Amino acid sequence: MNNNVKESLKAGIIGAIMGFIMSFLINFFLIPFPTDNLINGMNHAISGLISGFMGGFMGVIMYIKIVGKKKEKS
């Protein structure tokens, strides 16, 4: 189980980095709402960081749960 948590954290960190970069780039170049583009990009990058991490982490946790149930049945 400890290895599964490490894999979940690794997937979460990768998702967080991807979310950070994509949110920053999209909001810096395409949707600059506040007057300062850098602050706008950083605000959205932080939200992308959080949502990317949670998406990756929860996806792996659900995968582990499903695989665990299949192993119990067999």
Give the start-to-end residue ranges of the domains of the chain.
Answer: 2-73
What is the arithmetic mean of pLDDT over 3-16? 77
pLDDT given for residue 31 in this prediction: 67
Tens digits of per-residue pLDDT, 10-51?
A: 777 887 787 788 777 777 777 666 677 788 778 778 877 888
pLDDT given for residue 4 in this prediction: 74
Considering the entire predicted model, what is its pTM?
A: 0.57
CA distance to 1, 14, 36, 64, 74, per residue, from 6 (Å): 9, 12, 38, 12, 25
Q: Which amino acid, one-letter code, is at 61?
A: I
pLDDT at 53 over 80: yes
Residues 6+ apart with CB under 8 A from 18: 52
Cα–Cα distance, 74 to 10 (Å, whole number): 29
